[in-house]
């Protein structure tokens, strides 16, 4: 299946990644960029002087002398860069990029141990602790990213060099892990190898990798004391200076076996990575029990722990889920990587069951939180994607120090930027899936190429316009046998019409309309894109009396630049309408405008913090104002200021 | 001046302190109580196994062998217990209590070094670091509490034993601190000695103590690198294993000289302790510059950083102030001790200038946050006094782990409980002040006794009833010369009437009504006590569209026990009215009741987190409900549940 994105909206991002981000990250990884590395939050323990990631490999390979610097998982920055670079190379072959890729591949080969092991921190600093402090070692997490890079590299270049490195590392892992005496009978503290092994299986066909992935899935949480026992057993190896830290196993989703986990808890990225793997293995094995487990977590997230921007993770503490309906807008974490993981999870769910809800979550994450993670210059990134920001609070309230009002240029823990890059350079794989002689079209992006449907390869072209109206034009060529095409009817659309040559249509329970095609054809799906004012479930305390605006796949927000300061004094008094906008700094986008009110701060408040209603204070007065909305993902690309997604309403008619 | 509280409301607390808290704390300090020591929040570094405070003194005195356990400031628990016990003894002389007091006094005498130094941590663990890591050592903080205990002990018993210990310690401090070479030229990281030295001056008349206090006030912040330099200089003494921590000097109000400090920043307790001292020294020296400095901080707090419950400290991070109008109701700190410090500050301001605003702040802190700090059983205590609590959030959101839904029995850092005890056992000193032949009556508490006014001592009796109406009956006897009595007209009262024998009244700018008295007399001030619905300044984001209810000095709240769960679904639709209540578990109190609405969670929300208005969701429906309010300080004395002070309103008439 080789469909290619021809979408101006998305290719702007892949171009930024190719022209700005990949070279920039290259410089960062080589400690050549003149950058300020920001801290994610006020925490002295966060390394932030430099990346040192390539240098760590050079030291591990014996090319240089020195110490490891950075996080235990610093290697993964290199692997994620490599995966992005390979994906980008596949889109735009380029000799210079290839030689950069080759240089890194060689360095990785050189750094790998004879027996396949590869983790620069442990190789340089603590070889005696190999696989012995899994709760935080990230050795298999890094192995996972190595494998994902290898798969991308192989697909882009045809070279198996990194696949060989990966398979050798997996042999080392197979030899080291398992229930046998002397082996490690547990899983890494950060899920990732599980997902990567599925990808390695997909390119090698070796089902051992699926088995190993499933073993890691199922061993997790069977012994909730595994991590602390491991530390206890290896105390004499200079581990943590003999101090055994308290381990919050729920953070690692290792508090109980996966089959007993009812709710999405702990570190959000870890949770969606493992949940995605459950769905992947379920699809490969047709494993109903695993699928049900994944579904239970999915439902808990989507119906109770999910932000309207496609984000997850309600607290910075452990970058974690909290509890049902707890969705604060200004203290949350909403990590870019967590939404990327949720995208993986949704796609894996689609492999088990076609349902519009999975596609809609993919879309919501992509068009909102994931691209909010990257500035329009391709050089500044958000880890944390708030739904409400007051820059003064970010700078003056330590509890909001993680909520940045502008995108920093790089982070001490640089997981998000390369994760965005590898994801946006491989969007083609999310657009469609096929099963038997059915072709499902999930996302409204311009694509062209060949897809396999049942026994035949057909040529597919999808052209989308989502400005005034939704218009999706699909051209199918090279049809030799009858096939069924399923078009997603987006929940945010209305008045759907299909015109063209086909039989049907049938509107299916799963939210797709299916049409029967027996020959080359062209058809067109059109729909209205009304401005939606979303309410949140009444138990979401922070959103009471407020609405969030959406049109098409885009959630909207108010920025101080367009609406003045103190956004909390504003309320919406009518449904917003489309005002096509073009701001030279934001590019083309569809803006929205509405009438609203702004509370006036009366003079009686001078030097008063509280006033008794009817005694000291009068009824509040308001002025009518225009409210100007921009798509959420565009925020923080102009002046530093307040931003707000959920907005109060006042006597609104709808 | 010896007026005695005869107030049933307040004496209930002093009885609890005498009968429950003092014996209980005695057991805790001696590690005899069968208690669970709670942690203030999720932090492994907080010592919580036991108190060990008396044991530390025994070890320092050489009576026992062993190591110090607990905080660097563990000694202050003993001193604060002693101060409370002495205060309580003054109210109710009791041989058993006196022998407990004597035992502790002897232990303190025994533990003091020859040269006057006394700090069990440094004596036992690190004598070479004496006064060498002032940013966190709390040596002078503990010295301050020793002095305050000594003053209380002397006043209660007439014994100067602890005054001698204190003066000897102060000599040691005078010999160790100052601008001279070889001396320490800076102030303790936790203010307290400053305030204590004023009290020592008050009982000894030694003005050197005022000078030393002022020196500590003024040296602070003159070298913002003082603390880190001290650590650097003493690195070779095994300090912090050579690691120099980052010091946030604003936390200690040591970022600039006090005269340049424009806003209340940093740790809230530290700020109010030092501000109170500024006002005390200003009053003694008639120092306008110091008073202006104190006034500036006062105004910043009261007009921009002050909770309606009399609490301060908007964040748990550093237990600190944040920025203007940032007053979150559910993540704040609002430490009991900070309100106690604010009470001290207000009282000290009154010594410079009589203004009703200082008295009102004293009252607001006392009737709300300070007594909220203690359960009705006298054995459970709040550190943190939230204005909104959801127990599920406290247990499931680590960002709210400090916001307890029930009062724990004791804390690892036990500063608040004994601070409440020493304050509530000395309330008589806040009721009135006199200046020349003027007597000012600030608080509406039942008192009896003799007060000095100008050259004469008069007999004063004040009897208060604040149930249906405010009634304050004042009887003055033994009048020999004319005097002026100033009665506070509370901002929360209305329709003031004075009846009795006097000339006047004159309503003064400072908010007091003054009457002239030339002979023994009796008069009565009556006023209405309407239910007030307070609005917050529009820039207080968290209180938009909400009101807080107050009647008399009491702020009210809703509890789940009376109003069901999900308090955020409620809104107020009319002004509450008085319903006198008597709940056998809460005692007598004036309850309030009002009509309100509760939002109904429609079935359409089943498994939906977001719905588009007008498309999927209907207009919200409500049911009419009765809302039942109790005084804020009584919350969390029944079942564990939600609590809320600021409540949404809906089309309210006023």
What span, in angstroms and rounded, lies between the C-alpha atoms of A11 and A17?
9
Question: Each residue of B220-251: b (16+ CB within 10 Å) or e?
Answer: bbbebebbbebbeebeeeebeeeeeeebbbbb
Does residue A501 surpass a pLDDT of 90?
A: no
- What's the confidence (pLDDT) of residue A46? 58
Q: How many residues does chain A have?
A: 654
CB contact under 8 A, A613 and B547: yes
The stretch B449-465 carries a mean pLDDT of 96
Confidence of residue B412 (pLDDT cuts 50, 70, 90): low
CB contact under 8 A, A399 and B315: yes
Q: Which residue of B has its CA nearest to A621?
A: B538
B66 burial type by CB count under 10 A (0-12 exposed, 13-18 middle, 19+ buried): exposed
The stretch B390-416 carries a mean pLDDT of 86
- Least confident span in A195-209, A240-254, B311-325: A240-254
Does residue A456 surpass a pLDDT of 60?
A: yes
State pLDDT tens for residues B532-541.
999 999 999 9
Does residue A553 surpass a pLDDT of 60?
A: yes
Say which residues have a Cβ less than 8 Å from residue B584's Cβ, sequence separation at least 6: none
What span, in angstroms and rounded, lies between the C-alpha atoms of B68 and B54?
10
What span, in angstroms and rounded, lies between the C-alpha atoms of A312 and A272?
10
CB contact under 8 A, A612 and B533: yes
Residue B475, φ and ψ in degrees, nearest 5: -120, 130
Q: Which residues of A touch B397 (CB under 8 A)?
A: 314-315, 317, 322-323, 326
What span, in angstroms and rounded, lies between the C-alpha atoms of A269 and A260?
19
Say which residues have a Cβ less than 8 Å from residue B549's Cβ, sequence separation at least 6: B531, B532, B533, B534, B555, B556, B576, B592, B629, B647
What span, in angstroms and rounded, lies between the C-alpha atoms of A400 and B328?
12
Out of A44, A306, A544, closest to residue B609 by CB: A306
From the list A55, A280, A319, A360, the catalytic residue is A319
Radius of gyration (C-alpha) of chain A in whole angstroms: 25
- What's the confidence (pLDDT) of residue A148? 98
CB contact under 8 A, B245 and A44: yes
- What's the confidence (pLDDT) of residue B614? 78
Q: Which residue of A has its CA nearest to B531?
A: A612
CA distances from A45 to A48, A400, A443 (A): 9, 18, 41
Residue B175 three-state SS: helix
- What's the confidence (pLDDT) of residue B505? 86
Q: Which residue of B has its CA nearest to A251?
A: B398
- What's the confidence (pLDDT) of residue B105? 98
Q: What is the percent of chain A with per-residue pLDDT over 90, rounded to a whole number?
A: 84
Alpha carbon of B170: minimum distance to chain A alpha carbons (Å): 37
Residue B160 three-state SS: coil
Which of A377, A301, A296 lies closest to A338, judged by CA?
A: A301
CA distances from B609 to A87, A339, A350, A509, B599 (A): 35, 17, 21, 20, 16
What span, in angstroms and rounded, lies between the C-alpha atoms of A333 and A276?
20
CB contact under 8 A, A615 and B532: yes
- DSSP alpha helix (H) spans, A286-441: 288-304, 336-350, 356-364, 371-372, 391-396, 416-424, 428-431
CB contact under 8 A, B537 and A246: no
Which of B284, B428, B264 lies closest to B352, judged by CA?
A: B284
Is A319 marked active-site? yes
Which position has the higher pLDDT, A246 or A172?
A172
Judge whether A404 and A394 are in contact, CB under 8 Å.
yes
Question: Each residue of A549-572: b (16+ CB within 10 Å) or e?
Answer: bbbbbbbbbbbbbbbeebbbbbbb
The H or E element spanning position A201 is: helix A193-204
State pLDDT tens for residues A211-263.
999 999 999 999 999 999 998 888 777 655 556 788 999 999 999 999 999 99
Is A557 marked active-site? no
For the whole model, what pTM was predicted? 0.94
Q: Quote the tokens at residue B94.
A: 């009791």
From the list B55, B167, B319, B363, the catalytic residue is B319
Q: Is the peptide bond before B505 cis (omega within 30 degrees of 0)?
A: yes
B582 burial type by CB count under 10 A (0-12 exposed, 13-18 middle, 19+ buried): exposed
Judge whether A487 and A525 are in contact, CB under 8 Å.
yes
Beta bridge partners of A533: A549
Out of A302, A541, A611, closest to residue B535 by CB: A611
- What's the confidence (pLDDT) of residue A36? 61
Which of B84, B83, B50, B86 lies closest to B68, judged by CA?
A: B50
Which position has the higher pLDDT, A45 or A155?
A155
What span, in angstroms and rounded, lies between the C-alpha atoms of B214 and B202?
15
Confidence of residue A653 (pLDDT cuts 50, 70, 90): low
Out of B303, B323, B548, closest to residue A607 by CB: B303
CA–chain centroid gap for B473, Å, is 28
What span, in angstroms and rounded, lies between the C-alpha atoms of B70 and B383?
18
Torsion of the alpha carbons at A420, A425, A426 and A432, rounded to the nearest 10: 100
What span, in angstroms and rounded, lies between the C-alpha atoms of B369 and B632?
8
- What's the confidence (pLDDT) of residue B1? 55
**In whole numbers, what is the pLDDT of chain B averaged over residues?**
93
Residue B52 three-state SS: coil
CB contact under 8 A, B537 and A614: no
State pLDDT tens for residues A75-109.
999 999 999 999 999 999 999 999 999 999 999 99
Q: Quote the tokens at residue B578.
A: 């008085």
Q: Quote the tokens at residue B98.
A: 């006196």
Alpha carbon of B623: minimum distance to chain A alpha carbons (Å): 14
Q: Quote the tokens at residue A510.
A: 């799963």
CB contact under 8 A, B326 and A393: yes
Out of B399, B568, B617, closest to residue A399 by CB: B399
- What's the confidence (pLDDT) of residue B241? 55
Q: Which residues of A touch B392 (CB under 8 A)?
A: 323, 326
- Least confident span in A234-243, A306-315, B95-104, B150-159: A234-243
Alpha carbon of B398: minimum distance to chain A alpha carbons (Å): 6
SS (H, E, C) B258-322: HHHCCCCCCEHHHHHHHHHHHHHHHHHHCCHHHHHHHHHHHHHHHHHCCCCCCCCCCECCCCECC
Q: Quote the tokens at residue B363.
A: 């009252």
Residue A554 three-state SS: strand
The stretch A105-120 carries a mean pLDDT of 98
From the list A415, A416, A560, A642, the catalytic residue is A415
Does residue B113 surpass a pLDDT of 70?
A: yes
Beta bridge partners of A526: A471, A497
Q: Is the peptide bond before A505 cis (omega within 30 degrees of 0)?
A: yes
- Least confident span in A119-133, A556-570, B35-49: B35-49
CB contact under 8 A, B323 and A396: yes
Half-sphere exposure (Cβ direction) of B633: Cα atoms closer than 13 Å: 27
Which of A647, A635, A527, A632 lies closest to A575, judged by CA?
A: A647
Radius of gyration (C-alpha) of chain B in whole angstroms: 25
Out of B322, B534, B608, closest to residue A537 by CB: B608
Judge whether B92 and B140 are in contact, CB under 8 Å.
no
Judge whether B607 and A325 are in contact, CB under 8 Å.
no
CA–chain centroid gap for A627, Å, is 30
Residue B554 three-state SS: strand
Judge whether B310 and B361 are in contact, CB under 8 Å.
yes
From the list B172, B415, B416, B557, the catalytic residue is B415
Q: What is the percent of chain B with per-residue pLDDT over 90, rounded to a whole number?
A: 84
CB pairs A-B closer than 8 Å = 159
The H or E element spanning position B25 is: helix B22-29
Alpha carbon of A266: minimum distance to chain B alpha carbons (Å): 11
Alpha carbon of B624: minimum distance to chain A alpha carbons (Å): 17
For chain B, the 3-state helix, strand and coil shares in percent, each to the nearest 5, are: 40, 20, 40
B451 burial type by CB count under 10 A (0-12 exposed, 13-18 middle, 19+ buried): buried
Question: Each residue of A153-181: b (16+ CB within 10 Å) or e?
Answer: bbbbbebebbbebbbbbbebbbebbeeee
CB contact under 8 A, A599 and B547: no
What span, in angstroms and rounded, lies between the C-alpha atoms of A102 and B169?
72
Does residue B216 surpass a pLDDT of 80?
A: yes
- What's the confidence (pLDDT) of residue A408? 85
Question: Each residue of B16-39: b (16+ CB within 10 Å) or e?
Answer: bbbeebbbbbbebbbeebebebbb
Residue B479, φ and ψ in degrees, nearest 5: -80, 125
Q: Quote the tokens at residue B545.
A: 């569209």
Out of A315, A547, A601, closest to residue B398 by CB: A315
Q: Quote the tokens at residue A648.
A: 């109060």
Which ipTM did the prediction report?
0.94
Judge whether A339 and B646 are in contact, CB under 8 Å.
no
CB contact under 8 A, A566 and B540: no
């Amino acid at each position: 299946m080789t469909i290619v994105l021809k979408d101006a909206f998305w290719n702007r991002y892949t171009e930024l990644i190719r022209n700005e981000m990949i070279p920039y990250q290259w410089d960062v990884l080589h400690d050549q960029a003149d950058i300020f590395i920001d801290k994610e939050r006020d925490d002295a323990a966060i390394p932030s002087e430099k990346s040192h990631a390539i240098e760590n490999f050079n030291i591990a390979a014996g090319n240089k002398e020195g110490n490891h610097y950075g996080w235990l998982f610093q290697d993964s920055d290199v692997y994620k860069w490599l995966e992005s670079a390979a994906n980008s190379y596949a889109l735009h072959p380029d000799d210079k990029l290839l030689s950069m890729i080759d240089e890194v591949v060689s360095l990785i080969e050189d750094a790998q141990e004879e027996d396949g092991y590869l983790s620069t921190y442990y190789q340089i600093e603590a070889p005696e602790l190999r696989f012995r402090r899994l709760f935080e070692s990230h050795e298999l997490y890094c192995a996972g990213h190595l494998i994902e890079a290898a798969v991308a590299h192989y697909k882009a270049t045809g070279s198996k060099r990194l696949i060989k490195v990966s398979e050798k590392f997996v042999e080392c892992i197979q030899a080291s892990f398992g229930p046998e005496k002397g082996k490690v009978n547990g899983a890494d503290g950060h899920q990732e190898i599980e997902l990567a092994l599925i990808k390695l299986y997909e390119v090698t066909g070796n089902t051992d990798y699926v088995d190993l992935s499933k073993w890691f899935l199922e061993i997790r949480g069977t012994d909730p004391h595994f991590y602390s026992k491991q530390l206890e057993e290896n105390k004499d190896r200079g581990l943590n200076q003999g101090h055994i830290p308290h381990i919050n196993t729920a953070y690692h989703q290792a508090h109980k076996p996966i089959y007993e986990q009812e709710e999405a808890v702990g570190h959000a990225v870890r949770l969606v990575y493992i949940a995605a793997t459950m769905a992947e293995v379920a699809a490969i094995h047709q494993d109903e029990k695993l699928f049900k487990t994944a579904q239970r977590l999915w439902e808990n997230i989507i119906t109770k722990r999910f932000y309207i921007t496609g984000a997850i993770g309600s607290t910075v503490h452990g970058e974690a889920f909290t509890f049902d309906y707890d969705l604060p807008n200004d203290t949350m974490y909403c990590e870019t990587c967590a939404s990327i993981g949720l995208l993986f999870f949704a796609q894996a769910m689609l492999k088990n069951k076609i349902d519009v809800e999975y596609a809609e979550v993919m879309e919501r994450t992509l068009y909102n939180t994931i691209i909010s993670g990257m500035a329009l210059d391709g050089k500044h990134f958000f880890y944390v994607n708030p739904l409400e920001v007051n820059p003064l609070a970010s700078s003056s309230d330590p509890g909001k120090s993680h909520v940045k009002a502008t995108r920093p240029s790089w982070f001490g823990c640089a997981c998000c930027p390369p994760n965005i890059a590898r994801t946006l350079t491989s969007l083609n794989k999310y657009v469609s899936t096929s099963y038997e002689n059915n072709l499902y079209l999930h996302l409204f992006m311009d694509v062209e190429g060949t897809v396999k449907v049942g026994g035949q390869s057909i040529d597919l072209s999808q052209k989308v316009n989502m400005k005034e109206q939704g218009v999706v034009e699909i051209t199918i060529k090279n049809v030799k046998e009858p096939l069924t095409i399923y078009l997603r009817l987006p929940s945010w659309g209305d008045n759907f019409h299909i015109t063209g040559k086909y039989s049907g249509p049938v509107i299916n329970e799963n939210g797709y309309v299916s049409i029967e095609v027996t020959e080359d054809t062209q058809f067109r799906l059109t729909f209205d894109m009304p401005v939606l004012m979303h309410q949140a479930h009444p138990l979401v305390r922070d959103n009471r009396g407020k609405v969030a605006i959406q049109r098409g796949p885009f959630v909207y927000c108010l920025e101080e630049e367009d609406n003045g300061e103190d956004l909390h004094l504003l309320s919406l008094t009518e449904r917003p309408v489309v005002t096509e906008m073009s701001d030279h700094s934001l590019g083309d986008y569809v803006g929205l405008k509405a009438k609203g009110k702004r509370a006036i701060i009366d003079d009686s408040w001078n030097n008063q913090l509280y006033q008794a209603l009817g005694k000291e204070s009068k009824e509040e007065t308001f002025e009518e104002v225009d409210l100007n909305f921009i798509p959420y993902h565009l925020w923080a690309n102009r002046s530093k200021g307040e931003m707000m997604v959920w907005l109060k309403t006042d006597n609104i008619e709808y």
